[in-house]
Chain A
Amino acid sequence: MSTIYILWLRQLKKYIRSRSRIIGSLGQPLLFLFAFGFGFGSIFQKAGQGDYIHFLTPGIISMSVLFTAIFSGIDLIWDRQFGFLKETLAAPVSRLEIMIGKTLGGATVATIQGLVVFTLTLFVGFRPQSIAMLPVAFLFIFLTAVLFTSLGIAIASLLEDMQGFQLIMNFLVMPIFFLSGAFFPLNDLPKPIEIITRIDPLTYGVDGLRESLIAFSGFGIMTDFIVLFILTIVFLLLGSYLFEKVQI
């Protein structure tokens, strides 16, 4: 237990100390919210879909959670490059404990980031439909955070250095983000796109968040929760499996 705690604490301390990283990672979601929110707002309204800022906000929150979580997981590569991972791996603790501590730390950081973005959207005029549903929304944020931190760790376990990072960003993280329905409703899509969106784990995070924040009717909140929960377990197992194999 104490091992998991100290790993979690380390992750949190490092996050709080890197002010430039916090500010930097808030800039992007806000830019998207402003540019797209106000840019497409009138078209969206004319198409009869309602208020675009309201529709977009859960997507933007998910986006910041996705990015922060993946980065927190991929952090592992730096630990490896700067040698700190050796210190952890040579210690008498199991890999599973390390993995859990690291995942919870990264997920906590990503959740905080999501909550900060959520708070900021309130200033842009976003209003959640009911206060009672907020804990459910936070649960979706947290699950999304755990899922993508595990994915980050899984990727970091496979990569030897930051060289492949751009590849991962362009061919994995960006598609996960853009094809999750964060920007657009998922109905009436061409079949291939529809299939991809259904495979994308973030789709269920965005949908669940939308259901709980603006009572948008998508797959149904239970479906979102179950799918996301199962996927989170799968990714946790995948991350643990790959991390177990890391050699120094």
Chain B
Amino acid sequence: MKNNIIVVSNLVKKFKNFVAVKNVSFNVKKGEIFAFLGPNGAGKSTTIKMLTTLLKPTSGKINLDGNNPQKNKDLVRKSFGIVFQDPSLDDDLTVQENMQYHAVLYKVPKELRKERIIDLLKFVDLYERRKSMVKTFSGGMKRRLEIARGLLHHPKILFLDEPTLGLDPQTRNSIWKYIKDINKKEGMTVFFTTHYMDEAEKVAQNIAIIDHGKIIIQGTNKQLQSKTKTSSLEEAFLSLTGIAIREEEINDIDRMRMIRRVH
């Protein structure tokens, strides 16, 4: 138990008409890279929102680095960094201003701020562009900036909700390189969701698959494959969740134009 940085037990989230998360329990070990997989609409983002204090669970327990996200919001918020599924940068501010805003909000000490921002921007290859407005950036550049921003306050846990969605293989590779690097160097726990099974196969030490609001299997990539008698994670995933196509979520552009109604 001591080694678990995230402990979720019997988590339930009900909205008006349906239950998005049904009695979910899982643990994430300190320092590991944990993949949280599932088809569209399975309950991934809802779970992440509850883990990150943005949504109140209907019932169940969450423990994040020793704290309850609903009771000790600020402590929990300081302990994680998050890269949301959809963009969350201010397009009318420069790269540096977006970083400064975050640093102030997360109370990064003034004397560390400048140095860390420079280091992180160099790390994601955006230092040269630090004075550019974010609106001039491509999707991949924005993603890299969001990751740099998420790391600014040295979180113990990094949540990544489909961090590589819509990115080319080059950018995906470099993003994962950064993340694995930091995970090794700083022992930072990484909790991510993705639809790219090869990514999960390559980077995750532990995997949980959620479908229809329930965790259907949990273990290492090898365990998942041997349990399902398949030879790749993608096959394992399909054999567990079926091949029927799920209701599409709205795409990114729609998401920007429209608020996702929570119901």
Per a CB cutoff under 8 Å, which of B54, B86, B92, B262 touches A83?
A: B86
Per a CB cutoff under 8 Å, which of A14, A83, A93 touches B84?
A: A83
Given contacts A3-B104, A81-B256, contact A248 B49 (CB under 8 A): yes
Does any Cβ of A come within 8 Å of B97's Cβ? yes
Given contacts A81-B259, A86-B84, contact A13 B93 (CB under 8 A): yes
- Smallest CB separation, B81 vs chain A (Å): 9
Bound-state Cα–Cα, A101 to B206, Å: 42
Given contacts A92-B73, A92-B77, A248-B54, contact A160 B89 (CB under 8 A): no
Q: Are B91 and A82 in contact (CB under 8 A)?
A: yes
Measured between beta carbons, the chain A residues less than 8 angstroms from B53 are 90
Does any Cβ of B come within 8 Å of A51's Cβ? no
Q: Are B257 and A90 in contact (CB under 8 A)?
A: no
Per a CB cutoff under 8 Å, which of A81, A84, A86, A91 touches B77?
A: A91
Does any Cβ of A come within 8 Å of B244's Cβ? no
- Smallest CB separation, B122 vs chain A (Å): 22
- Smallest CB separation, A181 vs chain B (Å): 36
Measured between beta carbons, the chain A residues less than 8 angstroms from B78 are 92
Q: Are A17 and B92 in contact (CB under 8 A)?
A: yes
Residue interface mask B32-64, A partner, CB < 8 A = 1? 000000000000000001001111000000000
Q: Are B258 and A161 in contact (CB under 8 A)?
A: yes
Does any Cβ of B come within 8 Å of A198's Cβ? no
- Smallest CB separation, B56 vs chain A (Å): 8
The size bracket of the interface on B is 35 or more
The size bracket of the interface on A is 20 to 34
Given contacts A3-B104, A93-B105, contact A82 B259 (CB under 8 A): no
CB interface residues, A 1-28, toward B, < 8 Å: 2-3, 5-6, 10, 13-14, 17-18
Does any Cβ of B come within 8 Å of A217's Cβ? no
Does any Cβ of B come within 8 Å of A169's Cβ? no
CB interface residues, B 78-99, toward A, < 8 Å: 78, 82, 84, 86-93, 97
Measured between beta carbons, the chain A residues less than 8 angstroms from B29 are none
- Smallest CB separation, A5 vs chain B (Å): 8
Does any Cβ of A come within 8 Å of B74's Cβ? yes
Q: Are B74 and A92 in contact (CB under 8 A)?
A: yes
Q: Are A247 and B92 in contact (CB under 8 A)?
A: no
Bound-state Cα–Cα, A79 to B49, Å: 18
Measured between beta carbons, the chain B residues less than 8 angstroms from A5 are 104
Measured between beta carbons, the chain A residues less than 8 angstroms from B52 are 90
- Smallest CB separation, B63 vs chain A (Å): 18
Q: Are B105 and A6 in contact (CB under 8 A)?
A: yes
> Which single residue of chain A is at the shortest CB-CB distance from B54?
A248
Bound-state Cα–Cα, A10 to B104, Å: 12
Measured between beta carbons, the chain A residues less than 8 angstroms from B54 are 86, 89-90, 247-248
Does any Cβ of A come within 8 Å of B106's Cβ? yes
> Which single residue of chain B is at the shortest CB-CB distance from A159?
B259
Measured between beta carbons, the chain B residues less than 8 angstroms from A91 are 77, 102, 105-106
Does any Cβ of A come within 8 Å of B261's Cβ? yes
Measured between beta carbons, the chain A residues less than 8 angstroms from B77 are 90-92
- Smallest CB separation, B232 vs chain A (Å): 34
Measured between beta carbons, the chain A residues less than 8 angstroms from B137 are none
Residue interface mask B93-123, A partner, CB < 8 A = 1? 1000100111011110000000000000000
Does any Cβ of B come within 8 Å of A42's Cβ? no
Bound-state Cα–Cα, A13 to B96, Å: 13
CB interface residues, A 94-124, toward B, < 8 Å: 94
Residue interface mask A64-95, B partner, CB < 8 A = 1? 00000000000000011111101111111110
Per a CB cutoff under 8 Å, which of A3, A17, A79, A82 touches B105?
A: A3
Q: Are B84 and A80 in contact (CB under 8 A)?
A: no
Residue interface mask A143-175, B partner, CB < 8 A = 1? 000000000000000001100000000000000
Bound-state Cα–Cα, A14 to B97, Å: 11
- Give chain A's interface residues, CB within 8 Å of chain B: 2-3, 5-6, 10, 13-14, 17-18, 79-84, 86-94, 160-161, 247-248
Q: Beyond the given A2-B107, A83-B87, could you list 8 further A-B residue pairs with CB under 8 A, ordered by the A residue number?
A: A3-B104, A6-B104, A13-B97, A79-B90, A81-B259, A90-B53, A247-B54, A248-B55
A-B contact pairs, 26 of them (CB 8 A): A2-B107, A3-B105, A5-B104, A6-B104, A10-B93, A10-B97, A13-B97, A14-B90, A79-B90, A81-B256, A81-B257, A81-B259, A82-B256, A83-B89, A84-B90, A86-B54, A88-B105, A90-B54, A92-B73, A92-B106, A93-B105, A161-B258, A161-B259, A247-B54, A247-B262, A248-B262
